[in-house]
Amino acid sequence: MTPESVLHARRRPLTESELLAIPWMRLLTEEERARAATDLKIAEASPGETLCRTGRPVTYWFGVIDGLLKMSTDNAQGQTITYTGIPPGGWFGEGTALKRESYRYNIETLRKSRVAGLHVDTFHWLLDHSIGFNRFVMNQLNERLAQFIAAREIDRMNNPDVRVARSLAALFNPVLYPGVGEVLRITQQELAYLVGLSRQRVNEALNTLQAQGSIRVEYGGLRVLDLTALRSPSLLP
């Protein structure tokens, strides 16, 4: 049995509070909402579990109810390239679901997470019937494009403080990750995995950003005080 099938075997229906945490549900009509709620399933994933693996065919469109995931791929030399983190409220894989193709990336949990899945057939049914759902997916694709363009820019930056600032700004995207709010629950080691720096260097960068008034390090997470400064390296001294 593959790790993905083990996780699939643990799936269950969502509770009412979990359904309310899904941002696109409120955009649906009563009929569409009932169809989606019947199909949606959720599972608790342990740290290090894989939800999607390169080369596997798409079966679900996924969303994070609680927790933190990492999107990455392995190059020909066996090195892991991390694209982005996916915090609460984030739904991902709409491009793959639209084309019904195999995954071109891996999705792994960085901590214990609750992940919901909408079957790809229901995903396409909603596209065929719901204007609200179409607008949500279109906004997702638009924001995702901007996110990956920014990620390419981050990869070319030599200033670790700016790399951490821009990576944090991406995790506070209110369109892609509406469940985050002003406080992101993340450890320095988790952030180091996502940014591609050592935990010690991430700690130095966070201290610098806090001293500049861009963020505040709180117990168990980070609070953003100036998102504009995080997004604009020119605003950082």
Report the CATH architecture of 3-149: Sandwich (2.60)
Please give the pLDDT value at position 80: 77
- Name the helix (H) or strand (E) containing 160: helix 160-171
Is residue 7 pLDDT above 90, yes or no? no
- 3-149 with 158-235: one CATH topology? no
Q: What's the pTM? A: 0.86
Please give the pLDDT value at position 157: 64
> Under a CB-based contact definition with an 8 Å cutoff, are residues 119 and 40 in contact?
no
Is residue 234 pLDDT above 60, yes or no? no
The helix-helix angle for 131-155 and 120-129 (nearest 10°) equals 120
- The edge-to-edge listing of strands for the beta sheet with 50-52 is 50-52, 106-109, 69-74, 80-86
- C-alpha to C-alpha distances, 94 to 56, 58, 137, nearest whole angstrom: 15, 10, 7
The topology under which CATH files domain 158-235 is Arc Repressor Mutant, subunit A (1.10.10)
- Rounded Cα distance between 69 and 80, Å, is 15
Percent of the chain exceeding pLDDT 70 equals 92
The pLDDT of 19-47, averaged and rounded, is 96
- Domain chopping of the chain, boundaries: 3-149, 158-235
The pLDDT of 153-162, averaged and rounded, is 74
